[in-house]
Chains A and B, each alone.
Chain A
Amino acid sequence: MNFTRDEIIETIRMVQAEQLDIRTVTLGISLRDCASSSISQVADKIYAKLMEKGSELVPIARQLEEEFGIPIVNKRISVTPIAMVAESCVDSDYTPIALAMDKAAKDLGIDFIGGFSALVQKGFTRGDMNLLNSIPDALSRTERVCSSVNVATSKSGINMDAVLAMGRIIKETAKLTAEQDGIGAAKLVVFANAPEDNPFMAGAFHGPGEPETTVNVGISGPGVVNAVVSNLPREADLGQLSEAIKKMAFKITRVGELIGREASRRLGAPFGIIDLSLAPTPAIGDSIANILEAMGLKRCGAHGTTAALALLTDAVKKGGVMASSHVGGLSGAFIPVSEDEGMIRAAKAGALTIDKLEAMTCVCSVGLDMIAIPGDTKASTISGIIADEMAIGMVNQKTTAVRIIPAIGKKAGERLEFGGLLGYAPVMNINRFDCSEFINRGGRIPAPIHSFKN
């Protein structure tokens, strides 16, 4: 055997004690051949294609879990943005398609299906408009369908009409699912520079440049990185810290690479990318905030948090890039408040505010994620939050996103319960001054000067 005892023990410890797992194996499926003029025909075609292409995903993922002893937490499917697939339909309500996707997801036993999406960074087509209008209904009547809308890119600027519309759509979606604590809004994300091969929800879709099918893998492992950082001596300097995280990120990513290659071979679909994101869960110890705190911050959100997060994100990328043949997706550290036990604690203690979170998104993916805001927040204020985040993404040529949940009927300090991987979220305070005059101007914010690279 070519492995030392310590190496074997390290791997076993990572899985059994430190929650190392594969967050998701996501099968991308193109639906571009499902168009028709009748919405019911499109829905039928989509259902049939998903059932055909996706039938092996769950059994094969289970096989891989058994053989390699690495848990695969979620099995997911991403599809071509539905706005493109449904564009030629005469009907304008796309909810039947969402229902068909939901049914396929349940029948296949997959956890989430992403792609009820539109790309509108420069303007709307008929299909885009219809899709946006269908989002609140579609998300309130389905369980596993996720929706995303790309409203900005570094090349084309920000479509502020779409930003304005998304403020209202998010609020409406939360209202329609108010009885389940607004869970509809937790399945809806607004993007700048959305990647076409993202395996993570709610933002996964199968981009127009992707092949017929593809396997994308999302890794996890904050618990493992946390253990490494915690075990370093206190006097280790930040260079040594970065070095230790890099090595661990390499090992975590290798596991993803192995699972990805095997899944690709067994599914007969090419291996797309590994997403190098550290994805937290609400489980104790599986937290990004805990890593930052282990670096020496009293609470996540203290001054120094952005710098610590920048170091973490960069080290994870450097370690991960060498471990994988193709990286992509969002690749960075996730900071979803409700899904991270340490973030929840920091928000409750008042250490972590929405402004600090916004600053943190400048150095990591993916943006303001799973944040509950007071239910009486105006739609235009939500649009203002989105516009700020989109500007960060556009100017810094990175992916940013907003997934916020208006807590209908609740005020700052109360909490929303989603359960499962989505966790629970304390309702956070937001800036109460009005921005509606600016937001209501509409139009497009031009692309920044440094986007002209030709």
Chain B
Amino acid sequence: MEVLVTLESLKNWEGQKVAKFPPDTIVTKEARIYAAKHGIEIYIGEEKLPEPTISNPIPAQKAVISVVGEDKVGIIAAVSEVLAKNQVNILDITQTAIQGLFAMIMVVDISRASCSFDELKSALSKRGQELCVRVDAQREEVFHFMHRI
């Protein structure tokens, strides 16, 4: 009988959906992370082992878009156009200066976006280049981790 199920023993279950072990078996965290990544469900007896705790159970719904550069006509219009085209809703806009440069910050809802975050980001930065400003998008977790305990 295996008392301890490690990564090594779990590898034998690769490609399968369910791995069953007798009651009282201990499954290491490492093996559980491996199983979660490879889509294997682990059962100890009849009970399903929950996935190891991960930082973001729900993917981010919001993102922060920042525009830094020289102030000029049409920046907000250009950025909003890209957002609208991709079904991204603007929740909040504010502007300020960072070290003498114009900075616009938008909080947006990406939960119904019609494109991936990567695509949105590159579309924004392309538009930014045409206007000679730096446009960046970050998932909200960064701000959550940094400013909230």
Contacts and interface: CB of A to CB of B under 8 A. Distances in A.
B99 A251 contact: no
A315 B142 CA distance: 22
- The A contact surface, by secondary structure, is helix
Contact of A264 (B33, B94, B107): B33
Contact of A258 (B34, B55, B98, B103): B55
A68 B99 CA distance: 22
A265 B56 CA distance: 10
A17 B97 CA distance: 12
B137 interface: yes
B114 interface: no
Nearest to A269: B33
Contacts of A70: 138, 142
A69 B55 contact: no
B141 to A, nearest CB: 6
Given A1-B91, A8-B64, A16-B68, A270 B142 contact: no
Contact of B105 (A12, A63, A67, A254): A12
Contacts of B111: none
Interface in B104-141: 105, 107, 117-118, 121, 134, 136-141
B4 to A, nearest CB: 13
A258 B142 contact: yes
Contacts, number: 111
Contacts of A438: none
A46 to B, nearest CB: 18
B85 interface: no
B37 A265 contact: yes
Given A262-B55, A262-B56, A270-B29, A3 B96 contact: no
A-B interface, 6 closest residue pairs, ranked by CB to CB distance from nearest: A268-B37, A69-B138, A261-B55, A254-B145, A258-B145, A7-B147
Interface of A: 1-3, 5, 7-13, 16-17, 63, 66-70, 211-213, 251, 254-255, 257-258, 261-262, 264-270
Given A8-B64, A212-B7, A268-B37, 7 more contacts: A2-B148, A3-B107, A3-B144, A8-B143, A69-B142, A270-B29, A270-B30
19 contacts: A1-B62, A2-B148, A5-B94, A8-B143, A11-B138, A16-B68, A17-B98, A66-B117, A66-B118, A67-B118, A69-B137, A69-B139, A211-B28, A212-B7, A254-B146, A255-B142, A261-B55, A268-B37, A269-B34
